Every structure is written in C-alpha cells, then in structure tokens.
Amino acid sequence: MAQHSFPLQSLLHDPLFEGDIVANEPMSRHTTYRIGGPAHFFVRVDTLSSLKRTCAICDESRMPWVVIGRGSNLLVSDEGFPGAVIILGRDFRTMITDDERHRFVAGAGVLLSAVVQKAFQESLAGLEFAVGTPGTMGGAVRMNAGSAKEWIGKLVSTVTTVSPEKGLMKYRGSDIEWGYRSSSLAGEEVVVECELSMEPSDPVFIHAKMEASLKRRKSSQPLDEPSCGSVFKNPVGTSAGALIDGLGLKGTRIGGACISPKHANFIVNVGGATASDVLQLIHLIQSRVKEAYGIELAPEVRFLGLSTAGAE
C-alpha cells in the first residue's frame, strides 16, 4: 500500500474514488480573474460518493475544503488555499428536461449558460436575465445569481445538497430564503442538483429578451478583461457603480488591478494583477465611499484564503 503524507492522497488508490487530485494547483487557472495562488489540493469529483468521501477525509484530517464552480465570483489569495478546492465533474454535469411539467433538472456542475440555451430551445421563459452570466448551476444557486429585478431563486423548485453533517437533503425552493446574492443554504452544504420550473412562452419573445439583456451587458460591462463581475452589492436605493463613479475613481489603478473605466463596480485585471492589488482597491473604494456618503459597501465577490470581511 502506498504511503501518503496527506490522507486525501490515499483516494488516488481507492478503486471507488472517481475523479482526480492534483497538488499545488494554481487557482489563477480556475478563476475568471486569473488570480490566485496554489490550492494545496485541487480535486475533481465525478460521483456523489466520491464527493462525500473527499469531504469526509478532509474533515477527519482537519483539512479545510471548499466546493467551487467556475470561480467567476472568487478572489483567491496570492498565497492560495491551504486545503482542498473541489470541483464537480462528470455526474454533476448532466441535465434532464421534463417537457410535461416545464422543468429542468440540472447537475450543479452544469454551466448556467447551457441551461439558458436549453431553456430557449425548449421555449421556456424566465432565465433570460442570466444570459452572459458565467459560472455553474451550483454557484448560481449558492449566490442566487441574478439582475436587479430577477434572480435564479425565483425559478428553483427543488435543490439537492450534501453535507457531512446532514447527508443528502432535498429542499423545496420555497423553503430557502433567497437574499440579494445569497441563499440560506448552510456554508458547508454542497449543491449537487437543482430543479428549475419555467413558463412556456413564445421563442421570439424569449430571444428578444435575451438579446436585450446581452446588449445591455456588452455596452456597460468590460467583458474583454478578466474580472469577477460586480465587486460590491448595490446599497438599498442606489448603485455601487454610481457611488464609485461619483467620486471620480474610474481608472484608478493599483499594480495590475484597475477600477474599470467602463463600469465603476468592476475591478479588472489589466495584466499580472495580484489578489493584494484587488484587495487594496476594494479597501480604497470602501473607505472613500464611507467617507463621502457614510455608506458601507459590502462585497459581492467571495474571498478564498483571505482573512477579510465575507471571507470563506
């Protein structure tokens, strides 16, 4: 039997484990920011039992773990993550349509964009707002991804999760509290599957709404530069972007990170940005906005391996 310094690595020799484990994987390869130091272990799990086993071994050996999607809402520390970063592979990347009940059952590893396209093909309305939002179904449910007026939680009829404490759970969408870029699912609950309920509609109408949404996005967001989307949540009654813009901060740069001249609530990586560069800009914005308006901007971006407000 091979000897490993870390219990997690024993999974590589476990015939029941399906997936892969890589040590010291740069997280810059797995975030849309293209920022982030190494994850001690980067694990792809292809089955539910492999996911459960991975989490259990991490807990037994007191190794921190986190499940991520496409890293499209993540700022990962330059020092990386001192534990296991887990992504959902094969069995979590399937989607089934129930034509009669106008429902989709999508694995948490399915890309949100694939679900948006499928809904359009099936003439089902409700997800048009999500066109152009990167990430997976798991990340979208955890974050309650959406726009100012629409969010994914409204369409969720059930969510299946797994956690070391509760095991496999199936929640009705109506039993979950859907907040502004948040859901009431506990931190250690991994979303594994989600069922969406949509309304049949005219495909011409759906297409027009998708096009309008995409056009708005392209005209207002710096989509050609690496980012995490909106950095801050909008305070009640105003937009974070307008507050930041009002202070003339667009274009402010620290290292390789820059407050986008196109959208003040985006901090973009203009080349070689570090998490520290982005964090410094975040703190600069927060203190300037607090000073000028008395408003505390709360980050929408999730932090990994960083000890800051809202960090994982």
Ligand X SMILES: Cc1cc2nc3c(=O)[nH]c(=O)nc-3n(C[C@H](O)[C@H](O)[C@H](O)COP(=O)(O)OP(=O)(O)OC[C@H]3O[C@@H](n4cnc5c(N)ncnc54)[C@H](O)[C@@H]3O)c2cc1C
Binding site residues, ligand X, CB under 6 A: 32, 66-74, 88, 108, 133-136, 138-140, 142-143, 145-147, 181, 190-191, 223, 227-229, 302, 312
Q: Are the C-beta atoms of residues 44 and 91 closer than 8 Å to each other? A: no
- For residue 198, the minimal CB distance to ligand X (Å) is 18
What gap in Å lies between CA 181 and CA 196, rounded to an integer?
A: 18
Shorter beta-carbon distance to ligand X: residue 223 or 249: 223
Integer angstrom CA distances of residue 215 from 136, 202, 300: 22, 20, 23
CA gap 14, 178 in Å, rounded: 39
136 versus 274: smaller Cβ distance to ligand X: 136
Q: Which of 28, 213, 230, 260 is catalytic?
A: 230
CA distance 245 to 18: 48
State the minimum distance, in angstroms, from the CB of residue 69 to ligand X. Answer: 2
Give least dist CB 263 to ligand X, A: 10
Between CA 6 and CA 12, with CA 8 as vertex, the angle to 5 degrees is 110
- Cα distance between residue 196 and residue 122, in whole Å: 13
Q: Which is nearer to ligand X, 238 or 287 (CB)?
A: 238
| Min separation Cβ 99 and ligand X, Å | 26
| Matching residue, tokens 């609950």 | 189
In the complex with ligand X, which residue's Cβ is closer, 144 or 274? 144
In the annotation, is 60 catalytic? no
Residue with Cβ nearer ligand X (203 or 222): 222
Among candidate residues 189, 193, 225, 300, the one labeled active-site is 300
Q: Is 181 a catalytic residue?
A: yes
Which of 181, 213, 225, 227 is an active site residue? 181
Shortest Å distance, C-beta 48 to ligand X: 12
User: Which residues are designated catalytic?
Assistant: 181, 230, 300
